[in-house]
Structures are given as C-alpha cells and as structure tokens.
Amino acid sequence: MTQSETIHSTFTLERHYAAPPATVFSAWADPGVKARWYAGRDAEHELDFRVGGRERVRGRFDGKALLFEVRYQDIVAGERIVFSSTLSFDDTLSTVSITTVEFAPEGDGTHLVLTEQGTYLDGHEQPAWREQGTATQLDSLAAELDAARTAG
C-alpha cells in the first residue's frame, strides 16, 4: 500500500494597486480581463462569476495536463471574494484550497489581501510553489491595471 502525504498550509499576500476597489474587483469578475492576467496566453479559461458559479483553467505544465477548477462561495461586490478550488495534473488531484480576496480603499487606490488555506496531496504540489504562482498572478494583475490606466 502506498503511503499518502498531506500538507496543510496558509499564506497571505498583500498588494497595493493604483486603482479604486471597484476597478480592481472588476478585473476579477470580467471574463476577458481575468483571462489575460490570471490564466496565461496558452490556457483555456471559462468564468461564471456569481455565487455558485464556476471557473476553469485548462492548460499544460511540465508536459502534464493542468486543470484548475473554482467554485465561488461568497461575493460582495467591490469588497470580497471567497472561493474553493482544486488543482489536478493528468487527472490526479493535487491541491484543494479555500481562498479569500479582500479589497479595501487605500488612498487613491486599493489594498488587496489574498489569503489561501490549502491542502496539498501526495507531493504533487508544494505550498511554496502555489504561493509563488499566486504572487506572479497578482503582479500580472498590476500590469493589467496599469495598462488599462495608461490606455484610458
């Protein structure tokens, strides 16, 4: 019998964006905008942004089929998003997590706080990898918001 491994981990990332909370929140809710900064160029992205709605990102990573699936549990427009998610590689469940994203006014911009509580299964993903990947996505969000500001 194979020994299973379970790792529990929580991380919090904070960012300041030079855009109001409604604009930053909208970047999470608009399917076209979110696909650009969240999913990456080569991934398939579907978004049904509502409580009970789902989001899916399909792509490839290190030669394996990647599937990231989200279910939205709570949405307070302009203030908070709570979702549960799973990450699978080649149909093998790797991670199950709960994520809360909070948006608060800060000066002329937004203070975003993202907290993720994850369960990492059988060594398929590591907490540090997830934290780094999420940080990279939040940096991509900043670039998306900056591009929209300079274009508009």
The pLDDT tens digits of the residues spanning 46-99 come to 999 999 999 999 999 888 999 999 999 999 999 999 999 999 999 999 999 999
Among the residue ranges 29-33, 109-113, 147-151, the one predicted with the least confidence is: 147-151
CB atoms within 10 A of CB 120: 21
* The pLDDT of residue 1 is above 60: no
Name the average pLDDT for the chain: 95
Cα dihedral 12→143→68→112 (10° resolution): 30
Strand-by-strand arrangement of the 6-17 sheet = 6-17, 109-121, 92-106, 80-89, 64-76, 54-61, 44-47
Q: Please provide the DSSP assignment of the chain as one string.
A: -PPP-EEEEEEEEEEEESS-HHHHHHHHH-HHHHIIIII-TTSEEEE--STT-EEEEEEEETTEEEEEEEEEEEEETTTEEEEEEEEEETTEEEEEEEEEEEEEEETTEEEEEEEEEEEEETTSS-HHHHHHHHHHHHHHHHHHHHHHHHH-
From CA 104, how far away is CA 3, in angstroms rounded?
44
Banded model confidence at residue 152, pLDDT cuts 50, 70, 90:
low
Q: Which domains does the chain have, with CATH numbers?
A: 6-151 (3.30.530.20)
